[in-house]
Amino acid sequence: MLDRLHEHGYSAYLVGGSVRDLLLGRRPKDFDIGTSAHPHQVKKLFRNCWIIGRRFRLAHVKFGPKTIEVATFRRQVDPSELPPDAAETDEVLEAVPEPPLPEDASVEEQIQSEGTHLAKVRAHDRLIHRDNTFGTPEEDAFRRDFTINALFYDIASFAIIDYVGGLKDLENRLIRSIGDPGTRFLEDPVRMLRAVVFAARLDFTIDEPILEAFETHRHEIGRAAPARLMEEYFKILRSGVAEKTFRMLKQTRLLREMTPELDAAGPALWESLARLDRYRQRFAAPPDTLTNAILVGSLLVPLGLAGLQRRFSADPLERRIELGMLPIPRRDVERLQQILAIQPRLLDIQAPQRAQRALLHRSILPEAITWLEVHGDRPDVVAHWRTLLAEPREHPQASVEEGGHVPYPRRRRRRR
């Protein structure tokens, strides 16, 4: 991909976390590309490309099950481009018409103009609306969150391009913000959570100015979208260092702002997270068996918010569970209840074979076995059910009469 972009005159680099992980000798979970090509220009070069996003367009290029994200270099809107009177900003900016374009303007020019206009309209909010405009590689590096995530790799010269001192911070094992941490956290409060996640996962130290900014701005995490925070929690639980990450979130008092129930939890929660980490660390990458229902259960069950002792309600509103500001997806809660409901039947390996084989047709069984493997402390029971699942199953078929005729199933008599 990089070669093809270069052949057509575009600059393109491997960017972000993949460069960081390669330099640390870790296996990147995915690869991202930064380029001077606009999304529609990327689409012209790759037939297996889809353009996504409304606020800022990205190109996703698919290679089998893998997806490479290609983003055009971006920059932040300069404060001098904003109206000076903040009190009248909302009315003024919303009334600004989109600048006219010449009739012969290309698609790429239209996209860039639209992105620039929207960025100016929304730039009065310090949230991340301010990075909608295209820019240069250096501008793109300076708009990123932390120095270790702003490294570019150029395959043409086999060189690391470092505009922000990220290589030195990698050597010092330090999480350092690009620019003033307070300003960066106001732009995107989730960066506070990500700073702790990187420190826990990479075993790095958090820079002192970031810790000081936590003291001032931790309450801003409440402005983040709950669904986005929920997705970050799922990533933490799949990381293999969930216990360490949540303990660091507790130490920095960010956990109290997002999920006070977890902040006040006892030893049962930490034991549950430790079990989850031990299971995850057996795999090179997050396994498909760690479904959202199992991850949610690892938090809810130790808190007593899910389990067999909980009364089932037919009212969807009563079945709704929230952790602080995080709404737990109802489908995951309902699936968790199914997993927990069949645990007693899984533990009874002395039950008749017919009763055991009846469970093999339950779609929830693989997840229930994984739950037992993670939290059950019964490897003998897990091995028993794995063996049953591996055995060939007999599917009842209609008997064939002489002459090859398959009889119709007998109709059930109607009860009077």
State the average pLDDT over residues 234-243: 96
Domain-located, residue 52: no
The predicted-structure confidence for 108-163, as pLDDT tens digits, reads as follows 444 444 444 444 444 445 554 444 578 899 999 999 999 999 999 999 899 999 99
- pLDDT score at 207: 96
**Contact call for residues 109 and 39 (beta carbons, < 8 A):** no
Q: Is the pLDDT of residue 190 over 50?
A: yes
At residue 327, the pLDDT reads 87
The pLDDT mean for the chain works out to: 83
Instruction: Write down the pLDDT at residue 401.
Output: 47
- pLDDT confidence of 287, banded at 50, 70, 90? very high
Which residues of 203-280 form beta strands (DSSP E)? 205-206
- For the question of residue 145 being annotated catalytic, the response is yes
Residue 405 — pLDDT band, cuts 50, 70, 90? Answer: low
- pLDDT number for residue 114: 43
Per-residue pLDDT at 370 exceeds 80: yes
Find the catalytic residue in 131, 140, 145, 169. 145
Q: What is the pTM of this model?
A: 0.78
Element (H, E) at 280: helix 267-280
Type and span of the H or E element at 93: helix 89-95
Let me know if residue 322 belongs to a domain: yes
**Lowest-pLDDT choice from 87-101, 218-232, 259-273, 329-343:** 87-101
Contact 35, 58 (CB under 8 A): no
Residue 5 CB-density burial (10 A; 0-12 exposed, 13-18 middle, 19+ buried):
buried
Domain count, the chain: 1
Region 203-219: mean pLDDT is 96
Classify residue 316: in a domain, yes or no: yes
Catalytic residue among 3, 30, 180, 348: 30
What pLDDT does residue 406 have? 54
Of 84 and 367, more confident: 367
Q: What is the pLDDT of residue 363?
A: 92
Respond yes or no: is residue 32 known to be catalytic: yes
Residue 379 falls within a domain, yes or no?
yes
Percentage of the chain exceeding pLDDT 70 = 78
pLDDT on residue 20: 95
Residue 374 lies in a domain: yes
DSSP per position, 24-44: TT---S--EEEESS-HHHHHH
Q: How far apart are CA 40 and CA 50, in angstroms?
A: 9
**What percent of the chain stands above pLDDT 90?**
61
**pLDDT tops 90 at residue 341:** yes
The answer to whether residue 185 is domain-embedded is no
Identify the burial level of 295 via C-beta atoms within 10 angstroms of its C-beta, where 0-12 means exposed, 13-18 middle and 19 or more buried. buried
Residue 71 lies in a domain: no
Report the pLDDT value the prediction gives residue 122, as an integer from 0 to 100: 42
pLDDT at 280 (0 to 100) = 96
57-106 per-position pLDDT tens digit: 889 999 888 899 999 998 876 655 554 554 444 444 445 455 555 555 44
Say what the pLDDT of residue 310 is.
Answer: 53
Flag whether 304 is in a domain: yes
Lowest pLDDT segment from 134-148, 257-271, 306-320, 332-346: 306-320
Which residues span the domain enclosing 349? 292-390
Pairing of strands 174-175, 159-162: unpaired
Each residue's pLDDT tens digit, 2-46:
999 999 999 999 999 999 999 999 998 889 999 999 998 999 999
